[in-house]
Structure 1
Amino acid sequence: MFAWFERRIDPYPSETPAMPPRGLWRFLLHYSHGAMPWLVALALFSGVIAVIEVMLFGWLGDLVDQLADTPREVFWQQEGARLTMMAVVLLIGLPALNLLASLVLHQSLMGNFPQRIRWQAHRYLLRQSIGYFQDEFAGRIAQRLMQTALAVREVAMKIMDVGSYVLIYFLGSLVLAGSQDWRLALPFAAWAAGYAIMLWQIVPRLGRVAQAQADARSQMTGRVVDSYTNIATVKLFSHSTREEAWMRDGMDGFLHTVHRQMRLSTIQDVALNVLNVALVGGVTALGLWLWTEGRVAVGAVAVAVPLALRLNNMSHWIMWEFASLFENIGTVRDGIASLALPRQVLDAPDARALQPGPGAVSFDHVTFRYAGPDGARPLAVLDDLTLHVAPGERVGLVGRSGAGKSTLVNLLLRFHDIEGGRITIDGQDIAGLTQDSLRAAIGVVTQDSSLLHRSVRDNVAYGRPDATEDEIADALRMAEAHGFVPGLSDSYGRYGLDAHVGERGVKLSGGQRQRIAIARVALKDAPILILDEATSALDSEVEAAIQSRLDMLMQGKTVIAIAHRLSTIAAMDRLIVMDAGRIVEQGSHGQLLAQGGLYARLWTRQSGGFLAADAAE
């Protein structure tokens, strides 16, 4: 029985996730789509339960009147059938309905519903543009993802479950009290008006505070994660005290929202107690007066007073449920700010997969600039740049920092869309290709190769998940990583290929991380290879040891290499010298030295193999 209800909602839908709407209610409907039939079922069960509970009060009043008016000797004969029906409803019907409501609530919705939201939102975020993750704390994004999933569930369930129960229960109470005597409904109506005013005045404020609190909480979490992720830097600069102050500032922002929330909660609690005392006192006094005047029977008093006491007990729960509803609405609004953002780089509607080819790369009159703050248009990073790389050609990009080398590579990977011109691979415009197929054809080793917090095997096989153990071992040997991997271990007793490397590979040295990254790219075996300072983290001895391996890796591939240490790329087939987003020189190492231009000046100004700073130029 449990398993059947647990399978009613698919927590991992396979359809491609679309951008969530920006509006609150459309956002809620978007993520409630797969759970909506069961949310409606929950609302129906809750409504029926509310009707039965109100009817029981009515039957109680009738029972009191019958006990007062019916002789004992004929009571069971006259009332037996009705009492039997009440018993069936009370002892069988109500528990059965509560069982069904509980199964829908706990088995179908509580776990699967937020998991479905997390899955859909996570899949959408994974396909977000690279700039999205550069602008946010990773911890903040993760916190909002988790918070928003739970908040959407709570808002949807409170509206459908609590909302239907409370509405039907109160309307039923009003009708039941009025059916005894219309005047008995007046205290309930007055209480409802006061209750509505209080909800209108206090609960939206709680919602606004909750939105601010959700933002402050994610900011606080983001700061914690940022400090822990960069703990080595914190310790190297002896800034523990500074980090404490930075963290306290984030915590103070969160605590301020908590104090605002608790002040509103106290005001709400006091006002609600005053309303409830007035309701119970008013109903009791009015009921007794009407009974003494002979206007109502004793059963009417027996109905109205317990109803007032019941609402008195329920009112605190209802208020907190509504407050929680608006708090969760605030959290959802905060989540919308991160989750419902358009992707900056999209596949074209008719995008096709890249067709395998020899690996020719062309940049034709490419112009690109990064978006400036407040809509400002900064100077172009690349300005009408044209570059053709033949299949199998090895090209080195040279230039000062900011010349546009890394931007050129990022555009080839289509991390950004160009403003003008076109980029092609084997004559295929990358703007018309799927991003996955494009990047599958390009292997990249960057100067800061971060690893996944998984095993060495998983990190290397990330280049080709179906690789065999022998192929993984060959890739490690090619990258000169086979010597240190067997000696790796972690706190869980895993060794060698099974050892986990820590967040971003923090448990390895920079050179070890780089060699694992090189092994990963070697296993991928893509026809186009990008080396962005690929040996920058290696010492001279290790670099010399794997340089021949890199030469093997580059064989038969189209290679674009970036290096500030010019000696590492001097042997390339062609060197492209960039300055201010343009190609100013190109040729072999010897040709460029003979020209006596920018490359020659950079070469002569190197100290220890690195570009010397020249602020004047």
Structure 2
Amino acid sequence: MLHFFEKLVHPYPEAEPTLPPRRFFAFLWACTEGIRPWLLLMTLASGLIGAFEAGLFAILGGVVDWLSTTAPDRLWADQGHMLLLLAAVMAASVLLVGVQSALKHQSMAGNFPMLLRWNFHRLMLGQSMHFYQDEFAGRIATKVMQTALAVRDTWMILCELMVFVIIYFVTILATLGSFSGWLMLPFAGWVALYAAAVWYFVPRLAKVSQAQADARSLMTGRITDAYTNIATVKLFSHSQREAGYARAAMREFMVTVHGQMRLVTGFEIVNHALSMLLIAATAGAALWLWTQGHATVGALAAATAMALRLNGISHWVMWEMASLFEHIGTVRDGINTLGRPRTVLDAPDARPLQVAQGEIRFEHVSFGYGGDKRVIDELNLLIRPGEKVGLVGRSGAGKSTIVNLLLRLYDVESGRILVDGQDIAHTTQDSLRAQVGMVTQDTALLHRSVRDNILYGRPDADDAAMVSAAQRAEAHDFIQGLTDPKGRSGYEAHVGERGVKLSGGQRQRIAIARVMLKDAPILLLDEATSALDSEVEAAIQQSLYKLMEGKTVVAIAHRLSTIAAMDRLIVLDKGRIVEQGDHRSLLAQGGLYARLWAHQSGGFLGEEAEEPEEVGAG
């Protein structure tokens, strides 16, 4: 039976998630898509349970009255039918609680937040590179995880606590009214005072909880940042510096914790005082009514039991309300990240890119990473099918930016980019990137097996194709000798986060094998062999030349010798083309390329004095 309830909510829907609204209640409502019928059913069951529990006190009063007026030997004869009805109602309540609990714990406790994580994660994967440049990866992951739980708990409290409590109190007041209208007064007064306490404390708890959620994600982001860049931390002997950096965030977090706990302590004291006042007032009123003959012993017992029960329930409600507004603060904080609109989107009429030849054309393209300074300025460039082009220029000239725009990691601010006559702004991003293979200078591998990393280029490839790609990339031999702490070896060995268990050259060769396996018609090389030693580079260069055959190639290298043999070199300066031609003709011109070639030192490009480049420009 429990398995049936576990299958009611599917946590991994295939449909692409839509961007949630940034208004709080609209965001909460959007998050319930796919579970609303079961949420409603759980709410109705919670309300019925509240009415049943409150009704038990009326039944208690009736039982006490029966016992006070019925002889023991006549109890079953006079009240037997009522006892059987009571037993049936109590038995039915077990089924009701079972259904409510199964819906809460089997259908939603795990599936609901997982559904949200699944959708939030896919939304984050669709965000632009600019989004990730402005955020800690750990901070984003924390918001995905904690916001999913906070949304679930907010709905659970609203649907279970609020409905249960409202129906419970209404039933209690109705029961007391049936005994004596005077017995309603202590409870009504308590409700008013308790509501006033909630009105005072809860908004303050909500405010501090939102600040706490943000402080928590900042703290987690800083800690994760240190772990992600642990090699740099150790290289510069900055363990203490990183500890201090994290401690500053921890102190900010603790400020919010202390503020929250002060409010909770105050709420606890006020709540207990109100509970004691309720018990004393109810018991006193019931005793007075009994002495006056206006209330039975059963009414006295039921009213006192209700007051005692509310002492426990009020503490539960207090903590649940505090938790509710902590969750609300967490959700509000998460909305700022999870509800942020994507800046690079597929157009409504986007079609898959079809590449038959591989011609690339930049028409009046300008771009500046959102700043005032243009990194690319009115660029016009035609790269013919199968042409091998090298991009040359000082740092900040726009070389890497051209590659980023071609991959549509950013959208151009003006102009357009065409591939085989198709404007890439009107093609799907996935189809565009599927037609492009790229090897970068900063190679990051996934914390998975070597096999998984190479097959990332073409997941449906067989082992023979994978090994062939590794051999062409001069990677097969060292892969055979790899092992990891769990005893996996060769292609099954895991490479560590970002490939930290491998040398720079090994990571680069696996990355090259991945691109070779992908075998896309357009090839982008951004310092593709910079991490390799001379002997391996020479071997890889031959493999790259083979890989380039029949492809349109755009290559960037600071070591001009690695791209001197390209069909054409494009020399960039301040986002514009200032020279183009082959290596010999450019040297003969005696222009910028000739000066850069002359300034080579040890095979690397010597930098000339220039204005500081903007972040992101390349």
Q: What TM-score, normalized by structure 1, do the two folds share?
A: 0.98
C-alpha separation in 2, matches of 1:614 and 1:66: 101
Aligned to 1:601: 595
- From 439, 443, 455, give the equivalent of 1:461: 455
Q: Within 5 Å, which residues of 2 pair with 1:214-225?
A: 214-225=213-224
Q: Match of 1:172?
A: 171
Match of 1:55 in 2: 55
Distance 2:558 2:392 in 1: 7
Identify which of 520, 526, 531 aligns with 2:520: 526
Report how many residues are paired: 611
Q: What does 1:543-558 align with in structure 2 at a 5 Å threshold?
A: 543-558=537-552
SS in 2 for 1:337: helix
> Would you say the 8 A contact 2:455–2:517 is kept in 1?
yes
1:616 Cα deviation from its structure 2 partner: 5.7
Q: Secondary structure at the match of 1:529?
A: strand
1:101 maps to which residue? Answer: 100
Q: Is 1:147 matched with 2:141?
A: no
Alignment-derived partner of residue 473 in structure 1: 467
TM-score by length of 2: 0.97
Tell me the equivalent position of 1:124. Answer: 123
Instruction: Return the letter of the residue paired with 1:367.
Output: S
1:419 aligned to which of 413, 417, 422: 413
Equivalence for 2:616: none
- 1:223, CA displacement in angstroms? 1.1
Query: Higher mean Cα deviation, 288-297 or 567-576?
Result: 288-297
- Is 1:536 aligned to residue 517 of structure 2? no
Cα offsets for 1:172-224 (capped at 9, x unmatched):
11111122111110110111011111111111211222211111111111111
CA distance in 1, matches of 2:74, 2:240: 85
CA deviations on 1:570-595 (whole Å, 9 max, x unpaired) are 11000000000100000011111111
Is the partner of 1:484 in helix, strand or coil?
helix
Which range moved further: 411-420 or 272-281? 411-420
Matches within 5 A, 1:570-589: 570-589=564-583
- Residue identity in the other structure for 1:466: D
Distance 2:464 2:531 in 1: 27
Q: Which residue of 1 aligns with 2:65?
A: 65
The answer for the alignment partner of 2:345 in structure 1 is 346
SS in 1 for 2:34: helix
Deviations 1:75-132 (A, max 9, x none): 3322111111012212x11111111111111111111111111111111111111111
Alignment deviations for residues 301-353 of structure 1 (CA, whole Å, 9 cap, x no partner)? 12211111111111101110111111111111111111111110110111100
For residues 340 and 191 of structure 1, the distance between their equivalents in structure 2, rounded to whole angstroms, comes to: 41
Partner of 1:41: 41
Alignment match of 1:429 (pick from 423, 434, 451)? 423
Supply the AA of the counterpart residue of 1:586. Answer: Q
Alignment partner, residue 9 of structure 1: 9
- Identify which of 439, 443, 466 aligns with 2:437: 443
Residues 367-386 of structure 1 deviation map (CA, whole Å, 9 limit, x = unaligned): 112113xxxxx121111110
Please give the per-residue CA displacement for 1:46-75, whole angstroms capped at 9, x wherever unaligned.
111111112221122122223223344543
More moved, 51-60 vs 228-237: 51-60
User: Could you give the per-residue CA deviations for residues 468-499 of structure 1, whole angstroms, max 9, x where no partner exists?
Assistant: 11111111111111121111111110001000
CA deviations on 1:511-537 (whole Å, 9 max, x unpaired) are 111110000000000000000010111
Residue 30 of structure 2 corresponds to which residue in structure 1?
A: 30
Aligned to 1:407: 401
Counterpart of 1:282 in structure 2 is 281
The match for 2:237 is 238
1:396 has 2:390 as partner: yes
2:395/2:607 contact within 8 Å kept: no
Alignment partners' CA distance in 2, 1:548 and 1:63: 94
Q: Give the Cα separation in 2 of the matches to 1:355 and 1:611.
A: 37
Amino acid at match of 1:384: E
Q: Distance in 1 between matches of 2:33 and 2:606?
A: 59
Letter in 1 for 2:564: A
For the structure 1 residues 405 and 58, does the alpha-carbon distance in structure 2 shift closer, same or farther, using more than 3 Å as the test?
same
Distance 1:194 1:490 in 2: 64
1:366 match: secondary structure: strand
CA deviation profile, 1:121-176 (whole Å, cap 9, x unmatched): 11111111111111111111111111011111100111111111111101111111
SS in 2 for 1:538: coil
> Larger deviation: 584-593 or 73-82?
73-82
**What RMSD in Å do the two structures reach over aligned CA positions?**
1.1
Per the alignment, residue 615 of structure 2 pairs with none
In structure 1, the partner of 2:270 is 271
How far is the alpha carbon of 1:358 from its aligned partner? 0.7
Match of 1:611 in 2: 605
Residue of structure 1 in register with 2:86 after alignment: 86
User: Is residue 193–residue 274 contact of structure 2 (8 Å, CA) maintained in 1?
Assistant: yes
Deviations 1:390-449 (A, max 9, x none): 000000000000001111111110111112111100001101100000000000001001
Query: Paired residue for 1:375?
Result: none
Secondary structure (helix, strand or coil) at the match of 2:362 reads strand
* Residues 12-47 of structure 1: per-residue CA shift (max 9 Å, x gap): 011111101101111111111111111111111111
Percent of paired sites with the same residue: 59
2:555 counterpart SS class: strand
For 1:453 and 1:616, locate their aligned partners in 2 and report how far apart those are by CA, in whole Å: 39
Alignment map for 1:247-258 (pairs within 5 Å): 247-258=246-257
Q: Secondary structure at the match of 1:397?
A: strand
Letter of the structure 1 residue corresponding to residue 226 of structure 2: S
The one-letter code of the counterpart of 1:607 is S
Which position in structure 1 is the counterpart of 2:483? 489
Q: In the alignment, what sits opposite 2:614? A: none
Amino acid of the structure 2 residue aligned with 1:336: I
Q: Unaligned 5+ residue runs, structure 2? A: 612-618
Amino acid at match of 1:60: L
Instruction: Report the equivalent of 1:592.
Output: 586
Instruction: Please identify runs of 4+ aligned residues in structure 1 that moved more than 4 A.
Output: none
* Structure 1 Cα separation of the partners of residues 309 and 5 of structure 2: 32
What secondary structure does 2:86 align onto?
helix
Partner of 2:290: 291
Distance between the aligned counterparts of 1:429 and 1:86, measured in 2? 75
Which residues of 2 match residues 287-326 of structure 1 at below 5 A? Answer: 287-326=286-325
Q: Secondary structure at the match of 2:184?
A: helix
d(CA) in 2 for partners of 1:209, 1:490: 45
CA distance in 2, matches of 1:313, 1:477: 71
Unaligned 5+ runs, structure 1: 373-377
* Counterpart Cα distance in 1 of 2:475 and 2:58: 80
Matched residue SS, 2:33: helix
Contact 2:355-2:419 within 8 A present in 1 as well: no
Provide the rounded CA distance (Å) in 2 between the counterparts of 1:487 and 1:71. 91
Within the candidate set 382, 386, 392, 2:380 is matched to 386
Q: 3-state DSSP class of the match of 2:477?
A: coil
